[in-house]
Structure 1
């Protein structure tokens, strides 16, 4: 029988429901169970694909081409289980599907309402495709009390009654603030949050209380008494210095034991040695390197969540700490600001959209190339590296991208068609923005003997993409004559995937997003090699 765990939040947002869900999934896996994690988002956008990184943070892309919430990245990194289109749903998607059915007449003239039609659609999403899975963990976005989240809370309340007895568990994550002037932790926010949850018919089985210090025994008893839960079900979710310490800490607090107790299940004690080893490497590294991330959204670190974690994984693989120096790309439009890159061991230019900051990214690529600093350009960062090479190596002074408008030398242009499996996909400038990019996993062929073939240990790879502009292969011959090698292409040779400088210590640009497939126990080879090159560079200084 598949069992369902619903994770909700209260008091404030950004308490870490995603990490809590991922950590619990990892703990259940360590006890021998299979898990699936899903995210239910209450906003009206169909998906986060068209949302500003400043609004929503990173868009995490799955192998099957879904643009999803960044929490799915946590799910994959902690459990190693790839997510899919079926693991993230929004209010917008649900309403879109329901309205399409109504227009077709599927409801036979009946009145379409939130209850039962919207709640039924949510329940169907939760229940679909779980055959053979022991535990399905469903995280509800937002906080209890949000108007837009009410249909989701109602849907999981109904599931609590409709599923067999002992098949559901409700976990509620709240905040336990410490008031310095009073010198004590306050339980009232948690009490009010649980009261709000109970008012809509949901009694939590487990409470997770985020805090910055240990919860005194008396406060824990008070929460249990007023929130109608067992004292052992009040789990202290204390702040830690690395997210990879969370599974072990939650196990020590008894989270997995308490959850299994709700279902009446006993299971072997998990072996969490591997998680402890990762935390040890992060806390006690054998060295350190500094990587500059030259981006457009550095004001919100969540815009680069997978990138940050992938660099951490590269550090783990090399037993070093990766210090990130955040630099807004626009500052490098002033040549006098290039000194900010003098003390770094590697430069990473990530993806992005639009003209703002593009010249600064080109300047950063120029600095890395001419100063022999390890460089990794991802998606937009690869395109800017190619434009830099065209301007300063091949003498194509007006090289640019049509993403910024009509160009005399369109080094980068809009893809109008490409193959997706056996299907020809076509796009135009007037296409919708949402879901129209080249999304998901695509194969690439690597040039034998190239740097990337050495890094990957083979010549056939599959990586996740999210872009609608592409380097123009008509310029390939001119650029290769000047030393920029196109070392990876689509299997048919029509689309460029990777460029590199063979005569540079480490200079690689990739059209895909390797950070999306990096895991703490399986660091992505590009990030492992990039950090290794940065470490070598640091020893030369």
Structure 2
């Protein structure tokens, strides 16, 4: 049986939501009992996004095999159960890197290496490799917008795939913008027409149009788009702005998108079972209460830097039927002039829970330490991830153990107390380049700890990492003697994975990134537990306020 593909492209402008569209298509096909796989081609020349600024590219999503990938792969994993690896995200840089290595080895037997056929063949081989794992349908997203010079080789490759595999095995889905012009009080279809025309000029006729709009498309608008863009009227799908991204698959299902794709692919499948997604959407629209979380980070000006983190918190809130209310706090704004200056506390009051996420570099660290101290002393639920765990250990060493100069060698190479360090520093080994601990690592949990309870008393778990610096176990006896508890380590006990403070309502730090494995229908236990503890703190505070008001009234 021939492999079947859905190719997702975008036009007019970027950031319309191709990744969400591709993930939602995968979700709908999976809900019909089909096995899906998804991949993303990024047109930039970087080999991967690992070295790119979070302000430009957003978060770097990490797969089990340690690949640093585009954040859209996070959407793919949250919406489906597709097994993703480094093969599921390729950039122009990586494609050219592979081709140049082959050319240097002489694999091309002295031929002139050209975009066609060598680059396009490399792209097509990458798609065939991903589809060969037994998927019924492989969904391929092409990054960028139609008309970009950078994306032309990828578009040419999928055009060739249509020629080679036939119409019954390939579907072109094109995402375009239908803007609402306030002055005219109407939607304008011209940008969509031009985008489809641009696609057609390189030999690709769109089969299905996903029309991004802030209002519903009328029958007349759909008829107009269908006529001018040479598609069926039912193939003009409204991709209307929704309150929650988890409503997108349901909206596409109502428009018949999955049925139309299967028709074009000549594929039989049962009706979709979207009952759990409908329940999720209902809970999102009808929360019983809210929970307020303060996220103290370094890249808060650009929320895409913490895309998976925000979604994982949302999953935890939905599991408790709560509305998530996030406040992004720039950590530099919490830095104090002197040890006695506690003015930053006013910025942290009123939060039910505080979270410090991952990051790199020295900027804003002192503000994070102040936030952690506040959470520890005021008994506010605290969750530290990666850098958030490391700073929690530094704060504990400074303010509980009395090591005032305790630090990470990342921030102060000359610190006398490097509580956090590169493990190989002790061996005198100079490291450059790819020194990070990446991908899935096994963690052994200590019984009778908060971490063990959160993971349902499991003894062994697997989580994804992306960091260079580790907890220095030379300081273990001092810190644990003062009350810190190590509740998770690697099987060989070399690396510390989880720390916690017993007796605190919720104080836990993990060296890994649990947000990468959280799904809306399967919330990660750490985020679920953190939200539950934060909401309990909220209820306790409310009860205290009521009691204080009652006491004041009586007096």
**When the two structures are superposed, what TM-score results if normalisation uses the length of structure 2?**
0.94
The answer (yes or no) to whether the contact 1:62–1:82 under 8 Å persists in 2 is no
Alignment correspondent of 1:122: 123
Q: Secondary structure at the match of 1:396?
A: coil
Matches within 5 A, 1:395-474: 395-406=402-413, 407-416=415-424, 429-432=430-433, 435-457=434-456, 458-474=458-474
Q: Secondary structure at the match of 2:343?
A: helix
RMSD: 1.4
Gaps of 5+ in 1: 419-425
The answer (yes or no) to whether the contact 1:415–1:427 under 8 Å persists in 2 is no
Alignment correspondent of 1:159: 161
Asked if residue 354 in structure 1 is aligned to residue 353 in structure 2, the reply is no
In 2: Cα distance, 1:308 partner to 1:386 partner: 24
How much does 1:264 deviate?
2.8
How much does 1:268 deviate?
2.6
**When the two structures are superposed, what TM-score results if normalisation uses the length of structure 1?**
0.96
Alignment correspondent of 1:273: 275
In 2: Cα distance, 1:505 partner to 1:466 partner: 28
Q: 1:16 to 1:428 in 2, by over 3 A?
A: farther
Matches within 5 A, 1:227-376: 227-334=229-336, 335-376=342-383
Structure 1 residues 178-204: Cα deviation after superposition (integer angstroms, max 9, x where no partner): 111111110000000000000000000
Gaps of 5+ in 2: 337-341, 542-555
How much does 1:225 deviate?
0.8
In 1: Cα distance, 2:527 partner to 2:81 partner: 18
Alignment correspondent of 2:53: 52
Alignment correspondent of 2:384: 377
In 1: Cα distance, 2:435 partner to 2:127 partner: 26
Q: 1:221 to 1:417 in 2, by over 3 A?
A: farther
In 1: Cα distance, 2:428 partner to 2:316 partner: 36
Q: 1:415 to 1:249 in 2, by over 3 A?
A: same
How much does 1:416 deviate?
2.9
The answer (yes or no) to whether the contact 1:379–1:513 under 8 Å persists in 2 is yes
In 2: Cα distance, 1:259 partner to 1:81 partner: 18
Aligned residues: 532
Q: 1:170 to 1:347 in 2, by over 3 A?
A: same
Structure 1 residues 347-378: Cα deviation after superposition (integer angstroms, max 9, x where no partner): 00000000000111111110000000000000
Alignment correspondent of 2:22: 21
How much does 1:130 deviate?
2.1
Q: Secondary structure at the match of 1:403?
A: coil
In 1: Cα distance, 2:79 partner to 2:363 partner: 35
Alignment correspondent of 2:114: 113
Structure 1 residues 378-423: Cα deviation after superposition (integer angstroms, max 9, x where no partner): 00010000000000111111101111242221111123399xxxxx
Structure 1 residues 207-247: Cα deviation after superposition (integer angstroms, max 9, x where no partner): 00000001122221111111110111000000110011111
Alignment correspondent of 1:527: 527
Asked if residue 66 in structure 1 is aligned to residue 74 in structure 2, the reply is no
Regions of 4+ moved over 4 Å: 426-430
Q: 1:429 to 1:344 in 2, by over 3 A?
A: farther
In 2: Cα distance, 1:427 partner to 1:257 partner: 61
The answer (yes or no) to whether the contact 2:497–2:511 under 8 Å persists in 1 is yes
Aligned mate of 1:211, from 202, 208, 213 = 213
Greater CA deviation, 4-13 or 260-269?
A: 260-269
Q: Secondary structure at the match of 2:12?
A: coil
In 1: Cα distance, 2:130 partner to 2:192 partner: 34
Q: Secondary structure at the match of 1:208?
A: strand
How much does 1:129 deviate?
3.9
Greater CA deviation, 472-481 or 315-324?
A: 315-324
In 2: Cα distance, 1:416 partner to 1:189 partner: 55
In 2: Cα distance, 1:430 partner to 1:447 partner: 32
Q: 1:415 to 1:92 in 2, by over 3 A?
A: farther
